[in-house]
């Protein structure tokens, strides 16, 4: 459980809040690169960390993320014309460049220089690995660009999707570090989903239904190790890294691609679930990409033209009670992603953690909250940069590995927990 003030601290990410300040220390995913496909394409509304913004790519290909509303009369610039290296409000013709600087106020004489006095709030927007990233903190504290391995591999080795999730970011993210739910909620799909099935590691999962968990702090966050018995006094480990504030990576299975997530607050009652698959040393196959587009693995099918899942709360997540009863699906909701989202959204927009009853196996969640609160406090009181900002913290991998019983996995898997370009992942 958390006290109400602790729950508020962790779940509120708007401007001026402690956790909001913390999110504003990082480069965070803002849009898919495909959302701004060409110069002078239509602008896109973006809400992040409870701020209404507008993204556009100007005539020269420069990317901008600016306050959504015109400084003149508060019109949404989504209605604007993206032309001649700027976005022009259709109401009275005020025009802005990608930095939010007003460059034309037609009603005022050019000589007056009035437009120079008008500037909308703006944030940098950079393209890396098929994602447009933004940094919403103070310019003087802008961190180095994101160094996640999935964003650094060639395009054909990576697939990315995003979906709206209608609940607070924390309850969504906590699902990503709650390894013990997999044996229940996702039971069955592990052995049928084309992006998971067939690995030798699955046999260890089947052979030992009572994994033991070890939570270990890392420089950027945590490692959560799930241990199962293997042959000859060895353990089969699945190690999930969590990097602050909201990145997780699922341990690999066989030669399948590796998957992971970011959970990014839209506001305090909605978040983006970003999902990625990549393989460090090979291209994804056409069949794999087709399966991902089809909503398999950690991805979900979305309503065409949007990022809203096809199965959503408005259609009761296409709950299939017959499949549930017949044992084809444990939860009755199809697919890993929507199984998670349906459960997490059912908790309400912001779950009341004063009423929960955590148990010992929830220590991953308890430790993550502990580290988030500690880092938010250190940032607010002493200006200490939180873990996960340093690019070295981002160069991590999830791992599946068999180790001797007496070896601490943080040591035994030390080399393979670090992303090394061109080196195959440790997987079973």
Partner 1 sequence: MLSESARMSSAAEARFRIDAPNSKGRAVKIIALDQDSERVVKRLAQRNWNQASFLTASAFSGAPKRGESFSMSGWLSDIAGRTKDLMQEVGSADLVVMVATAGGNAQAAAIIGEACSAKRIMTTGLIVGDASASDEALSKTLGQLRPWSVMLVIASAEDYIEDMLVALRA
The footprint of partner 1 (CB under 8 A) covers 1-2, 166-167, 212-217, 269, 313-317, 342, 345-350, 352, 355, 357-363, 366-367, 369-370, 373-374, 405-408, 410-411
**Pick 199 or 399: Cβ nearer partner 1:** 399
Phi/psi at 220 (nearest 5 deg)?
Answer: -95, -10
**Pick 31 or 350: Cβ nearer partner 1:** 350
**Pick 92 or 313: Cβ nearer partner 1:** 313
Phi/psi at 178 (nearest 5 deg)?
Answer: -95, 80
Can you name the residues that pair with 29 across neighbouring β-strands? 133
- Give CA–CA dist 355/373, Å, rounded: 19
Output the smallest distance, CB 315 to partner 1, in A: 6
Output the smallest distance, CB 169 to partner 1, in A: 16
Output the smallest distance, CB 73 to partner 1, in A: 31
Output the smallest distance, CB 17 to partner 1, in A: 18
CA 148, distance to chain mean position in Å, is: 12
Place of tokens 């199984």: 339
**Pick 126 or 366: Cβ nearer partner 1:** 366
Beta-strand pair 158-165/131-135 = unpaired
- Give CA–CA dist 268/170, Å, rounded: 9
Output the smallest distance, CB 167 to partner 1, in A: 8
In eight-state DSSP terms, residue 69 is B
**Pick 44 or 243: Cβ nearer partner 1:** 243
**Pick 159 or 317: Cβ nearer partner 1:** 317
The percent helix, strand, coil of the chain (3-state, each to 5) is 30, 25, 45
DSSP codes of every residue in 239-303: EEEEETTTEEEPPP-TTSPEEEEEEEEEETTEEEEEEEEE-SSSPPPHHHHHHHHTT-TT---B-
Please give the structure tokens belonging to residue 182: 């997999």
Output the smallest distance, CB 416 to partner 1, in A: 17
* Largest Cα span, the chain: 84
Output the smallest distance, CB 407 to partner 1, in A: 7
**Pick 60 or 210: Cβ nearer partner 1:** 210
DSSP codes of every residue in 167-183: S-HHHHHHHHT-GGGHH
Output the smallest distance, CB 375 to partner 1, in A: 12
Please give the structure tokens belonging to residue 153: 């591999």
**Pick 82 or 329: Cβ nearer partner 1:** 329
């Amino acid at each position: 459980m958390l006290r109400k003030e602790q729950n508020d601290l962790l779940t509120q990410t708007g401007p001026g809040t402690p956790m909001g300040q913390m999110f504003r220390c990082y480069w965070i995913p803002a849009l898919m690169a495909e959302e701004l496909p060409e110069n002078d394409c239509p602008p896109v509304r973006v809400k992040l960390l409870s701020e209404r913004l507008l993204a556009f790519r100007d005539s020269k290909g420069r990317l901008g993320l600016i306050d959504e509303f015109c400084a003149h009369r508060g019109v949404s610039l989504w209605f604007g014309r993206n032309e001649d290296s700027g976005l022009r409000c259709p109401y009275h013709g005020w025009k802005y460049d990608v930095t939010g600087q007003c460059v034309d106020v037609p009603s005022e004489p050019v000589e007056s220089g009035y437009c120079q006095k008008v500037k909308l709030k703006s944030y940098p927007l950079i393209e890396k690995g098929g994602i447009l990233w933004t940094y919403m903190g103070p310019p003087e504290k802008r961190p180095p660009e994101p160094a996640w391995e999935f964003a650094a591999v060639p395009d054909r080795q990576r697939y990315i999707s995003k979906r709206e999730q209608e609940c607070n970011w924390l309850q969504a993210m906590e699902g990503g570090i709650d390894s013990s739910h997999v044996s229940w909620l996702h039971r069955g799909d592990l052995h049928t989903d084309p992006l998971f099935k067939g690995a030798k590691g699955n046999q260890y999962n089947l052979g030992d239904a009572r994994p033991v968990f070890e939570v270990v702090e890392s420089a950027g966050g945590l490692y959560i190790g799930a241990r199962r018995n293997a042959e000859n006094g060895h353990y089969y480990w699945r190690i999930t890294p969590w990097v602050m504030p909201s990145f997780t990576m699922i341990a690999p299975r066989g030669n399948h691609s590796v998957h992971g997530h970011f959970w990014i607050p839209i506001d305090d009652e909605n978040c983006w679930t970003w999902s990625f698959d990549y393989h460090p040393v090979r291209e994804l196959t056409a069949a794999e990409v087709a399966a991902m587009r089809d909503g398999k693995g950690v991805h979900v099918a979305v309503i065409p033209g949007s990022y809203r899942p096809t199965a959503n709360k408005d259609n009761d997540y296409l709950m299939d009670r017959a499949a549930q009863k017949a044992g084809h699906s444990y939860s009755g909701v199809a697919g890993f992603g929507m199984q998670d989202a349906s459960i997490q959204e059912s908790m309400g927009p912001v779950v009341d953690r004063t009423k929960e009853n955590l148990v010992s196996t929830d220590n991953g969640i308890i430790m993550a909250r502990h580290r988030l609160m500690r880092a938010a406090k250190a940032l607010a009181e002493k200006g200490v940069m939180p873990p996960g900002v340093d690019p070295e913290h981002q160069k991590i991998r999830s791992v599946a590995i068999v180790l001797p019983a007496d070896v601490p996995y943080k040591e035994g898997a030390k080399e393979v927990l670090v992303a090394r370009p061109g080196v195959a992942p440790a997987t079973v």
